[in-house]
């Protein structure tokens, strides 16, 4: 379905952003409008409503298979971002909305636009993602982009048309997999990991970065070497950023979780918060 862009443009409100502890408006840094989730309703017939709900469940399953192995996640619509010609958003990290908020999903709607590329950056490595819906025969298929909340991202200037993107919060649900009706009691994280490897190998899913088991073993070997030399306390930063209340094993993501699981089989492992003050351009972030 094609959204009526003109109507959305008339009613959308300018998008602010956080700068330190302030919420500010600065069109040189972010130029766009938006609708929060409570300002939106979906007028869908029963068959389309069922398809939409099925689609959301499918995305949740993919996230549990590719990003949050061994966890149950929920997807909640946060807002609709509207970027017309000249719209853009410089490098930023989105604010987290709860301790369980660990990821976000972006889905572009079926409109025509040029420019407005989505750029992602983590640990200094950048990548560009094409989020235009893809045509498959007579069907239009959305591109689902998912990443952790601590990933920096940027929207390049839109040069033509209007870019409409649904933004969802990905939350880790605090319950055992067996208690969820979507999974059987035989649910085992290791089986999920094996399924993930097989699924990604045959599906159109791009995962970045991928985990190298040799690097994990190298970390284990290095710690053992330090222990032999008399260094008994070894500390290093996690790959991702977390809220203080979220520095728990059940909330670890990606390589952080893999390292924790690998190290706990050999050492006494503990997690501790560390305050890092980072200054980038006009933004000041404290973690």
pTM as predicted:
0.70
214-227 pLDDT, tens digit each: 877 888 899 999 99
Mean pLDDT of the chain: 82
Between 180 and 218, whose confidence is greater? 218
Is the pLDDT at 189 greater than 70? The verdict is no
Residue 81 scores a pLDDT above 80: yes
**Between residues 206 and 31, the one the model is more confident about:** 31
What are the tens digits of pLDDT across the range 234-265?
988 888 888 777 788 878 877 788 788 888 88
What are the beta bridge partners of residue 229? none
Q: What is the predicted pLDDT for the residue at 278? A: 56
Which band of pLDDT confidence, cut at 50, 70 and 90, is reported for residue 279? low
Tens digit of pLDDT for each residue in 114-166? Answer: 999 999 998 788 999 999 999 888 888 899 999 999 899 999 999 999 999 99
What pLDDT is attached to residue 202? Answer: 59
pLDDT of residue 186: 46
pLDDT band at 20 (very low <50, low <70, confident <90, very high): low
Confidence of residue 180 (pLDDT cuts 50, 70, 90): very low
Q: What is the pLDDT of residue 42?
A: 81
The CA-to-CA distance between both ends of the chain, in Å, stands at 42
Candidates 189, 186, 204, 221; CA nearest to 72 is 189
* Domains in the chain: ranges and CATH: 5-202 (2.60.120.620), 213-280 (no CATH)
The whole-angstrom separation of Cα 263 and Cα 269 is: 7
C-beta of residue 44 within 8 angstroms of C-beta of residue 52:
yes
Separation of alpha carbons 77 and 275, rounded Å: 31
What is the SS3 assignment for the chain? CCCCHHHHHHHCEECCEEECCEEECCCCCEECEEEEHHHCCCCCCHHHHHHHHHHHHHHHHHHHHHCCCCCEEEEEEEEEEEECCCCEEEEECCCCCCCCEEEEEEEECCCCEEECCEEEEECCEEEEECCCCEEECCEEECCEEEEECCCEEEECCEEEECEEEEEEEEEEECCCHHHCCCCCCCCCHHHHHHHHHHHHHHCCCCCCCCCCHHHHHHHHHHHHHHHHCCCCCCCCCCCCCCCHHHCCHHHCCHHHHHHHHHHHCCCCCCCCCCCCEEEECCEEEEC
Match 């050492």 to its residue by tokens. 267
């Amino acid at each position: 379905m094609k959204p009526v862009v003109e109507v959305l443009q008339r009613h959308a409100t300018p998008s602010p952003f956080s700068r330190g502890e302030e919420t500010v408006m600065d069109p040189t840094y972010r130029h766009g409008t938006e609708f929060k989730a409570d300002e939106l309703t979906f007028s869908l017939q029963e068959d389309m409503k069922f398809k939409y709900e099925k689609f959301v469940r499918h995305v949740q399953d993919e996230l549990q298979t590719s990003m949050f192995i061994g966890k149950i996640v929920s997807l909640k619509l946060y807002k609709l971002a509207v970027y017309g010609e000249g719209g853009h958003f410089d490098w930023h990290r989105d604010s987290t909305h709860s301790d369980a908020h660990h990821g976000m999903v972006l889905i572009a709607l079926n409109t025509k636009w040029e420019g407005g590329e989505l750029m992602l950056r983590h640990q200094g490595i950048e990548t560009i993602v094409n989020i235009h819906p893809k045509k498959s025969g007579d069907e239009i298929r959305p591109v689902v982009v998912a990443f952790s909340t601590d990933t920096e991202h940027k929207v390049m200037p839109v040069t033509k048309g209007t870019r409409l993107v649904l933004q969802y919060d990905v939350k880790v649900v605090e319950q055992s997999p067996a208690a969820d009706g979507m999974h059987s009691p035989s649910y085992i994280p290791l089986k999920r990991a094996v399924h993930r490897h097989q699924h990604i190998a045959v599906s159109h899913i791009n995962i970045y970065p991928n985990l190298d088991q040799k690097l994990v073993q190298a970390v284990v070997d290095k710690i053992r070497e330090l222990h032999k030399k008399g260094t008994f306390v070894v500390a290093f930063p996690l790959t991702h950023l977390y809220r203080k209340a979220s520095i728990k094993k059940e909330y670890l993501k990606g390589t952080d979780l893999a390292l924790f699981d690998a190290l706990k089989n050999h050492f006494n492992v503990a997690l501790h918060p560390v305050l890092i003050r980072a200054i980038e351009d006009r933004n000041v972030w404290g973690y």
